[in-house]
């Protein structure tokens, strides 16, 4: 594979998260029937709004925290990526962030993330700040993919995926989901087929002894995203449970119609639309590249240029 193709996939992974996040932000918390009533054929454009009144293309917490991890790899402070990621997340939480009034808190922050960052605020120890077992939301999976883009080897990626997840979400369902997801994404960036890439993720889950993550990955390969989005009937609800979000992302990746149609259908499912679309968008972008993301979406993304430059500086 030519270097420019790999770079396009790496950029696509980051921009896919950003685009999915911004597309889904408009309909966050809406159920399937509400989405269908408002957009019978699916929301096709990034228009902003939603429960938090986002400007079109503005990052929600999903992209903001992805940016925090990008910065840990590309603008290191201590040189320890886990500590730097936690510190950048705290900057976001405390209001040292582009597009926000200095000192202001984020408009939207998950409960587990807030609790963990408050712990880190006190202890400055990112290895003991996690919200604890039983907190299995998708708040670390939504920001995992920079490790797939910038990690140097499978061994380092898996270790860093687990540790960066555990800053806020240290439940094993979350940490192993992040590790498996990032091995899928890294394989896609390197040009692997979808089936081979998902196989890499399954291998991580199996070696980690996580039956739940293994089942979630395998379920994604057989779930028809198009049928679920059209009917509103799905065995996997689009809520914020990490294993459901992982299944939906693999379902989107396995969809033969491509990036745009799959992301539109992820949002059609309703509920945690921004985060599910961000997680799916990362894998889709890693598979198809930035060139596959509609220009009408790309031109609106708040951190689009910054993400492109971050990849180009490191490749």
CA distances, 17 to each of 2, 63, 145, 282, 297 (Å): 24, 7, 8, 5, 12
| pLDDT at position 238 | 86
Q: Which residue has the tokens 């986002």?
A: 54
Specify the long-range contacts of residues 109-114, CB closer than 8 Å, at least 24 apart.
109/61, 110/61, 110/137, 110/139, 110/240, 112/137, 112/139, 112/168, 112/169, 113/61, 113/65, 113/89, 113/139, 113/168, 113/169
Q: Between the CA of residue 166 and those of 3, 32, 78, 128, what are the distances in Å?
A: 33, 32, 19, 8
Could you report the per-residue pLDDT of 29-68, keeping only the tens digit for each?
Answer: 999 999 999 999 999 999 999 999 999 999 999 999 999 9
Residues 6+ away with beta carbon under 8 Å from 15: 285, 290, 293, 298, 301, 304, 307, 308
**Residue 206 · residue 200 · CB < 8 Å:** no
Confidence tier at 291 by pLDDT (50, 70, 90): very high
- pLDDT tens digit string along 76-95? 999 999 999 999 999 999 99
CATH class of 3-314: mainly alpha
Closest CA to 175 of 157, 161, 186: 161
Show me where the domains of the chain are located. Answer: 3-314
Supply 241's token pair: 């449970």
CB-based contact 182:153 (threshold 8 Å)? no
284 neighbors 1 (Cβ within 8 angstroms)? no
Instruction: State pTM to two decimals.
Output: 0.97
Nearest to 179 by CA among 165, 189, 194: 165
What is the per-residue pLDDT for 34? 98
């Amino acid at each position: 594979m030519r270097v420019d193709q790999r770079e396009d996939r790496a950029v696509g992974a980051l921009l896919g998260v950003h685009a999915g996040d911004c597309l889904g932000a408009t309909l966050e918390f809406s159920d399937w029937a509400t989405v269908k009533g408002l957009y019978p054929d699916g929301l096709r454009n990034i228009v902003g709004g939603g429960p938090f009144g986002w400007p079109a293309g503005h990052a929600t917490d999903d992209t903001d925290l992805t940016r925090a991890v990008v910065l840990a790899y590309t603008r290191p402070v201590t040189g320890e990526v886990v500590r730097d990621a936690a510190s950048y997340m705290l900057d976001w939480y405390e209001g040292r962030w582009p597009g926000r009034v200095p000192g202001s808190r984020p408009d939207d922050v998950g409960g587990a993330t807030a609790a963990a960052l408050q712990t880190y605020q006190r202890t400055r120890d990112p290895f003991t700040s996690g919200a604890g077992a039983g907190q299995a939301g998708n708040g670390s999976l939504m920001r995992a993919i920079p490790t797939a883009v910038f990690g140097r080897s499978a061994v380092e990626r898996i270790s860093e995926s687990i540790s960066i997840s555990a800053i806020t979400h240290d439940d094993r369902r979350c940490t192993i989901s992040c590790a498996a997801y990032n091995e899928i994404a890294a394989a896609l960036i390197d040009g692997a087929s979808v089936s081979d890439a998902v196989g890499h993720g399954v291998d991580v889950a199996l070696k980690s002894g996580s039956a739940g993550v293994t089942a979630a990955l395998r379920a994604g390969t057989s779930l028809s995203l198009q049928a679920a989005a059209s009917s509103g009937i799905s065995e996997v609800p689009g809520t914020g449970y990490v294993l459901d979000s992982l299944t939906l992302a693999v379902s989107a990746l396995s969809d033969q119609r491509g990036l745009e149609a799959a992301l539109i259908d992820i949002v059609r499912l309703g509920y945690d639309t921004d985060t599910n679309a961000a997680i799916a968008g990362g894998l889709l972008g890693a598979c198809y590249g930035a060139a596959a993301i509609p220009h009408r979406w790309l031109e609106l993304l708040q951190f689009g240029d910054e993400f492109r430059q971050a990849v180009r500086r490191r490749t």
